[in-house]
Chains A and B, each alone.
Chain A
Amino acid sequence: MTPRITAAVAGRVLTQIRRDRRTLALLLVLPCLLITLLWWMFEDTPVFDEVGPALLAMFPFIVMFLVTSVTTLRERSGGTLERLLAMPMGKLDFLVGYALAFGAVAAVQAALAVGLSVGLLGLDVQGPVWLLLVVAVVDAVLGTALGLFVSAFAQTEFQAVQFMPAVVIPQILLCGLFIPRDQLPQALEWVSNVLPLSYAVDAMTTLTETTATGDVWSDLAVVAAYAVAGLALGAATLRRRTA
């Protein structure tokens, strides 16, 4: 890995996002709009306080998964990845460059979503607000890592988008948003215990409920471990030599 090259990749990805105004607007504004919709739906009930934290964990994950799987698929099919791998670029330069760029976008996205939820919509947060942002960024890096990985199994952007329901929706269903995880049928609880989004949602929920942060850090460690594992799997799918 070469810091110069990693930084070049991250800078280039950010320039591409900046150039694509519509995507940028969707990335930043859409989560805020959806959170506001939910807050409005459950006006005068405690529901927003219950599901708000889960949403803050879901958006960075879903959005970065989608954006990354499509952009890296484009690199694979457009020939730019082949060109980069024929240059002095390490696989980790490529992966970490992407993770840094999307992590930065996620930080802005999360700052807006958390600011809106806590500042304007009255979401109750007992723990430190900055830690919500950290969880969101790690969560986004996880989405990026998984997106990079699945892009290896898609031949077209159409297929890449179809991986979203396959990889993301089961995690949303089982993360504790619809029913607390310990009330799931035993087998499904075990499944939810190995899905990384569960830990991101747990971390967010803990932050809103208590001021103690010990559990948050251990949940965060699990999410980070999954992100690293995802990047390692992604690295395995980046082949210099292809058939």
Chain B
Amino acid sequence: MVNNAVEIHDLHVVRGRHTVLEHLDITIGGGVTGLLGPSGCGKSTLMRCLVGVQQTRAGTVRVFGEEAGSRPLRDRVGYVTQAASVYDDLTIAENLRFFARVLGVGKDEVDRVLMAVDLGDRKDDVVGRLSGGQRSRASLAVALLGSPDLLVLDEPTVGLDPVLREDLWTLFHDLADRGTAVFVSSHVMDEAERCHRLLLMREGRIIADGSPAEIKEKAGADSVEDAFLAIVRRDAA
């Protein structure tokens, strides 16, 4: 019986001469787990480890009991990279139909995910002519195809209109309620409040782990942003 979606043990990643992740031990369960930290702290590298596209120096990453990136996981994990990984010269619907065929899911899935990200009325627009927010939603829609059991979302809400951002967070919670483990990164601290569990990251290490309320309480701060600052200062002292 595997209780955790993700189990990371002693994960160490070096890129060039920089240590990006330093001997991390993390488990991720159900619900919405947020990975928060400043730009360049190693969030994207950690997410790449979860989908098995990152070269690692040491450690193990297991997803649903299997080695990250291994064949049985490839249609169980949805992944959104920071750049919108969709084809600019195709329409949204063409992109989705292509990825649906790769995943072997039906055409009805295409309509379902279009509705989920609210792009139904733009589906025949060429991606290259969409706004940045629409492109990243198209990229998110691809990750939702086939209802994966784990969603790994690298800053999916960057640059979105606040109303839309709110809608997406509601969507993440809906998915989590239906059993998908959602792992989402952000460098915007106010999004932290919407997570069931938070991992605060800085310079390749996890500096705090808990629910937003626990983290604030432990640091004696009113907001996650203040808590982050308090923890960094305490560690430095």
| A→B interface (CB under 8 Å) | 4-5, 7-9, 11-12, 15-16, 19-20, 78-80, 82-89, 240-243
Q: Name the A residues within 8 Å of B86 (CB-CB).
A: 80
Contacting residue for B90 out of A8, A19, A84, A87, CB 8 A = A19
Q: Name the A residues within 8 Å of B88 (CB-CB).
A: 78
Q: Name the A residues within 8 Å of B85 (CB-CB).
A: 78-80, 82-83
- Assuming A78-B85, A83-B79, is B102 touching A242 (CB within 8 A)? no
Residue in A closest to B51 when the chains form the complex, CB atoms: A86
The reply to whether A4 and B90 form a contact with Cβ atoms under 8 Å apart is: no
Contacting residue for A241 out of B69, B74, B82, B99, CB 8 A = B69
The reply to whether A88 and B75 form a contact with Cβ atoms under 8 Å apart is: yes
Of B52-60, B114-122, B160-168, B176-184, the stretch lying at the interface with chain A is B52-60
Interface string of B92-105 (1 = CB under 8 A from A): 00100011011110
A-B contact pairs, 25 of them (CB 8 A): A4-B104, A7-B101, A8-B98, A8-B101, A11-B98, A11-B101, A16-B87, A20-B89, A78-B83, A78-B88, A80-B85, A80-B87, A82-B53, A82-B81, A83-B79, A83-B99, A83-B142, A86-B53, A87-B75, A87-B102, A88-B103, A89-B74, A89-B102, A241-B69, A243-B16
Secondary structure of the B contact surface, majority rule: loop
The reply to whether A86 and B69 form a contact with Cβ atoms under 8 Å apart is: yes
Q: Name the A residues within 8 Å of B233 (CB-CB).
A: none
> Cα distance A12–B126 when bound, in Å?
14
Q: Name the B residues within 8 Å of A89 (CB-CB).
A: 74, 102
> Cα distance A8–B21 when bound, in Å?
36
Residues 118 to 164 of chain B near chain A (Cβ within 8 Å): 126, 142
20 extra interface residue pairs, beta carbon distance < 8 Å, beyond A86-B52, A241-B56: A4-B101, A7-B101, A9-B102, A12-B90, A15-B94, A78-B85, A80-B87, A82-B81, A83-B79, A83-B81, A83-B99, A84-B102, A86-B53, A86-B74, A86-B77, A86-B79, A88-B71, A88-B75, A88-B103, A88-B104
- Assuming A82-B81, A82-B85, A87-B99, is B75 touching A242 (CB within 8 A)? no
The reply to whether A88 and B83 form a contact with Cβ atoms under 8 Å apart is: no
| B→A interface (CB under 8 Å) | 15-16, 51-56, 69, 71, 74-75, 77, 79, 81-90, 94, 98-99, 101-104, 126, 142
> Cα distance A243–B103 when bound, in Å?
26
The reply to whether B71 and A241 form a contact with Cβ atoms under 8 Å apart is: no
- Assuming A8-B102, A79-B83, A88-B75, is B90 touching A15 (CB within 8 A)? yes
> Cα distance A7–B104 when bound, in Å?
12
> Cα distance A9–B87 when bound, in Å?
12
Residue in A closest to B50 when the chains form the complex, CB atoms: A86
The reply to whether B54 and A5 form a contact with Cβ atoms under 8 Å apart is: no
Contacting residue for B55 out of A12, A16, A78, A243, CB 8 A = A243
> Cα distance A242–B75 when bound, in Å?
20
> Cα distance A8–B16 when bound, in Å?
36
> Cα distance A20–B89 when bound, in Å?
8
Q: Name the B residues within 8 Å of A80 (CB-CB).
A: 85-87
Q: Name the A residues within 8 Å of B102 (CB-CB).
A: 5, 8-9, 84, 87-89
Q: How far is the CB of B214 from chain A (nearest CB, A)?
A: 32
Q: Name the A residues within 8 Å of B94 (CB-CB).
A: 12, 15
> Cα distance A139–B98 when bound, in Å?
28
Q: Name the A residues within 8 Å of B55 (CB-CB).
A: 241-243
Interface centre among A20, A80, A84, A243 (most CB of B within 10 A): A80
Q: How far is the CB of A181 from chain B (nearest CB, A)?
A: 41
The reply to whether B101 and A88 form a contact with Cβ atoms under 8 Å apart is: no
Q: Name the B residues within 8 Å of A241 (CB-CB).
A: 52-56, 69
> Cα distance A203–B64 when bound, in Å?
55
